[in-house]
Amino acid sequence: MIKQFLSHQFLLFLITGGTAAAVNFFSRILYSLWLPFSVAVVLAYLTGMITAFILAKLFVFKNSQQSMQRSAVFFVLVNLVAVAQTWGISMGLLYVVFPAWEFNFYAPECAHAVGVIVPVFTSYLGHKRWSFKDSH
């Protein structure tokens, strides 16, 4: 299991995922100008997810033998789990943990950043095994 996370492919996943996470993070700030935090987190996640799919298909899982449609379906399913993780962690930190700690230094940004980081490992495994399954 650990070997999978020490691979060149995982490094590319981190780079492309980091790019998508930045899109997610900064788009949330823009969405928050017009929408409640909770809605902005979900919309930002969708924006990042579209970015991640394109980058993963082009740069990380190039040997995938699955059709684009099948990959997209599994990509969405894996990301439904990840968005639940992101949303739950972001909300829990912002509305429960941070107030208990009296932490309010960029609290929405910090809560969302932690929420975005957590699903990296579960998402990689899900995309490798289902979204972009390789025939090798």
Q: For the whole model, what pTM was predicted?
A: 0.73
CB atoms < 10 A from the CB of 65, how many? 11
Q: pLDDT tens for residues 16-56?
A: 988 998 999 999 999 999 999 999 998 998 999 899 999 99
One-letter-per-residue 3-state SS of 7-49: CHHHHHHHHHHHHHHHHHHHHHHHHCCCCCHHHHHHHHHHHHH
Q: Which of 84, 88, 92 is nearest to 122 (CA)?
A: 84
pLDDT tens track for 78-125: 989 988 998 999 999 999 999 999 999 999 999 999 998 888 888 999
Q: Decide if 23 contacts 47 (C-beta within 8 A).
A: yes
